[in-house]
Structure 1
Amino acid sequence: MNGITLTLRTLHRGERRLAHDLTAVAERHRTEHEVHHVATDLARWSHEHVRRLAETAGHHGLDLGGPPDDASGGVFASLREKAAEAVAHRPEPGLLLLRDLRELHLGATENSLHWEMLAQAAQASKDGGLLHLASACHPQTLRQMRWTNTMIKNLSPQLLTSL
């Protein structure tokens, strides 16, 4: 396994995890409409990144499989809904939201670093396909980071001083 395939594998795993975490946060904070809707949209981006990474990895002899299973139906949906209701009634949902946003930000930041590494490797190896992939997906990851950072900046003052 060379460095490019290792980076593809790591990035695939990171985007998969971020998609899952964004979906979980959207459900957990369903009563926070902006968080719910934006996190759901951002999860779609990561799902698309996972799909595109798997496709590109195939051209490099690496099988990463398809996008993560959609657990939005059945028992999982019911459990997520109950968890969201429970969180809404806890006295510290704001602190939980800040923690979730921090974790999302760190995940997106890690992915951003890997996208940058992949872009640099693509340039060095003159691999136009990899460069196109990184150029298309990395800006969305940067946008995920900006959203989490903005939410943390906006929510922290009130939530942390009202304890």
Structure 2
Amino acid sequence: MSGIPIVLRALHDGERELERDLLATAERHRTEHEFHHVALDVARWSHQHAERIARAAEAHGLDLPGPSSHASPGLLSPVREKTAEALGRRPEAGLLLLHDLRRLHLAAAGNSLDWEMLAQAAQATGADDLLALATACHPQTLRQMRWTNTLIKTHSPQLLASAP
């Protein structure tokens, strides 16, 4: 039995989870305008990846659910907005942002590994459709990782050196 369906399912779940986490974190840090807007943009990549994975998985005998709609903010959105307003620019908000960036980076790194495994398996089995999918999507996942890593590098010195 091929392990490709296992990797497709893990990757699909990982992209859906990263999208949800990016959207929730963007809402939680709404007052960090640059972070907020970029997080929404890169969440869209994960949304598109999940859609493409679900379509590709059909040809390999998998019925994966379509991605959750990122148009609906969810029940907790008002709570996240109020939390963002209350925290504002307090030092705790910066530490929370670092924690969130770390979690997002690790999630993107997990997806990156899954993309790499899918590409390797696709090459080994001659699954050109999956190789094309990985080749198209993996670079955006790597950009998500570079983005979170850059923010961690730029925010952590000041925030951690001045933390109470």
State the AA in 1 paired with 2:80: R
**Matches of 1:72 and 1:128 in 2, distance apart?**
35
- Partner of 1:92: helix, strand, or coil? helix
- Note the alpha carbon deviations across 1:32-61, whole angstroms, 9 max, x for none: 011101100000000000100100011111
Q: Are 2:152 and 1:152 equivalent residues in the alignment?
A: yes
**Matched residue pairs, number?**
163
State the AA in 2 paired with 1:15: E
Gapped regions of structure 1 (runs ≥ 5): none
Q: Are 2:99 and 1:106 equivalent residues in the alignment?
A: no
Gapped regions of structure 2 (runs ≥ 5): none
CA 1:40–1:57: 2 relative to 1, 3 Å: same
State the AA in 1 paired with 2:127: D
CA contact (8 A) 1:71 1:77 kept: no
- Note the alpha carbon deviations across 1:71-126, whole angstroms, 9 max, x for none: 63464432332232233265411100000000000000000000000000000011
TM-score by length of 2: 0.94
- Partner of 1:61: helix, strand, or coil? coil
Cα RMSD (Å) of the superposition?
Answer: 1.5
Matches within 5 A, 1:6-155: 6-70=6-70, 72-73=72-73, 75-88=75-88, 90-155=90-155
**Matches of 2:107 and 2:74 in 1, distance apart?**
27
**Matches of 1:125 and 1:142 in 2, distance apart?**
24
* More moved, 89-98 vs 68-77: 68-77
TM-score by length of 1: 0.94
CA contact (8 A) 2:91 2:159 kept: no
CA 1:74–1:3: 2 relative to 1, 3 Å: closer
CA contact (8 A) 1:29 1:35 kept: yes
* More moved, 136-145 vs 79-88: 79-88
CA 1:80–1:71: 2 relative to 1, 3 Å: farther
- Note the alpha carbon deviations across 1:109-153, whole angstroms, 9 max, x for none: 000000000000000011110000000000000000000000000
CA contact (8 A) 2:123 2:131 kept: yes
CA 1:106–1:68: 2 relative to 1, 3 Å: same
- Identity over aligned pairs, percent: 66
